[in-house]
Structure 1
Amino acid sequence: MAQVNFLQDRALDAIVLGRAGVDLYAREANTDIADITGFDKYVGGSAANIAVAINKLGAKVGFISCVADDSFGRYVQGYLEKQGINLDGMMIDSSGSRTSVAFTEMKPSDCDVLIYRNNASDLMLKTEQIDPEYIKKSKTLIVTGTALSASPSREATLLAMQYARSVGTVVVLDVDYRPKTWRTDVDASIYYGIAANLSDIVIGNREEFDMMETVVAPGNTDDGQTAQRFLTGNSQIVIIKAGELGSRVYCKDGHQFEQGIYRVEAKKPFGSGDSFAGALIWTLTHGGTLEQGVSNGSAAAAINVSGTSCTEAMPTKEELESFIARFEQASR
Structure 2
Amino acid sequence: MTHIHFESGREYDAIVLGRAGVDLYAMEHNTDIQDVSGFNKFVGGSAANIAVAVSKLGGQVGFIGCVSNDTFGDYVTSYMQSQGINLDGMKIDDSGSRTSVAFTEIKPSDCDVLIYRNNASDLLIKPEEVDPEYIAKAKTLVVTGTALAQSPSREATLLAMQHARRAKTQVILDIDYRPYSWRNDVDASVYYGLAASLSDVVIGNREEFDMMETVVAPNNSDDNLTAARFLTGNTQIVIIKAGELGSKVYCADGSRFEQGIFKVDAKKPFGSGDSFAGAVIWTLTHGGELTEAVKRGSAAAAINVSGTSCTEAMPTKEQLFDFMESAGSRYTK
TM-score (norm 2): 0.98
Stretches of structure 1 that go unaligned for 5 or more consecutive residues are none
Distance in 1 separating the partners of 2:318 and 2:4: 27
Match of 1:134 in 2: 134
Deviation digits for residues 254-306 of structure 1, max 9, x if unmatched?
01000001000000000000000000000000010000000000000000000
Letter paired with 1:27:
M
SS of 2:111's partner is coil
Distance in 1 separating the partners of 2:32 and 2:80: 30
Deviation digits for residues 177-197 of structure 1, max 9, x if unmatched?
000000000000000000000
| Paired residues, number | 331
Match of 1:239 in 2: 239
Distance in 2 separating the partners of 1:143 and 1:300: 20
Alignment of 1:54 with 2:54, yes or no, is yes
Alignment of 1:65 with 2:92, yes or no, is no
Change over 3 Å in CA distance of 1:127–1:112 after alignment to 2: same
Cα root mean square deviation, aligned: 0.9
Match of 1:164 in 2: 164
The structural deviation recorded for 1:8 is 1.3
Match of 2:100 in 1: 100
Deviation digits for residues 57-87 of structure 1, max 9, x if unmatched?
0000000000000000000000001111000
Deviation digits for residues 126-145 of structure 1, max 9, x if unmatched?
00100000000000000000
SS of 2:63's partner is strand
The structural deviation recorded for 1:232 is 1.5
The structural deviation recorded for 1:9 is 1.3
Distance in 2 separating the partners of 1:105 and 1:330: 26
Letter paired with 2:248:
R
**Residues 263 and 330, structure 2, Cα contact 8 Å, conserved in 1:** no
Match of 1:12 in 2: 12
SS of 2:288's partner is coil
The 5-angstrom pairing of residues 173-192 of structure 1 reads 173-192=173-192
Deviation digits for residues 185-217 of structure 1, max 9, x if unmatched?
000000000000000000000000000000000
| Aligned structure 1 segments of 4 or more residues deviating by more than 4 angstroms | none
Stretches of structure 2 that go unaligned for 5 or more consecutive residues are none
Match of 1:121 in 2: 121
Match of 2:303 in 1: 303
Match of 2:112 in 1: 112
Match of 2:196 in 1: 196
SS of 2:229's partner is helix
Match of 1:226 in 2: 226
SS of 1:63's partner is strand
Alignment of 1:217 with 2:217, yes or no, is yes
SS of 1:168's partner is coil
**Residues 3 and 290, structure 2, Cα contact 8 Å, conserved in 1:** no
Distance in 2 separating the partners of 1:327 and 1:76: 33
The structural deviation recorded for 1:330 is 7.1
Distance in 1 separating the partners of 2:216 and 2:164: 27
**Residues 67 and 73, structure 2, Cα contact 8 Å, conserved in 1:** yes
Change over 3 Å in CA distance of 1:224–1:287 after alignment to 2: same
Distance in 2 separating the partners of 1:250 and 1:234: 14
Match of 2:272 in 1: 272
SS of 2:227's partner is helix
Distance in 1 separating the partners of 2:146 and 2:284: 24
Distance in 2 separating the partners of 1:40 and 1:8: 40
SS of 1:183's partner is coil
Distance in 1 separating the partners of 2:64 and 2:262: 31
SS of 1:102's partner is strand
Match of 2:281 in 1: 281
Alignment of 1:313 with 2:313, yes or no, is yes
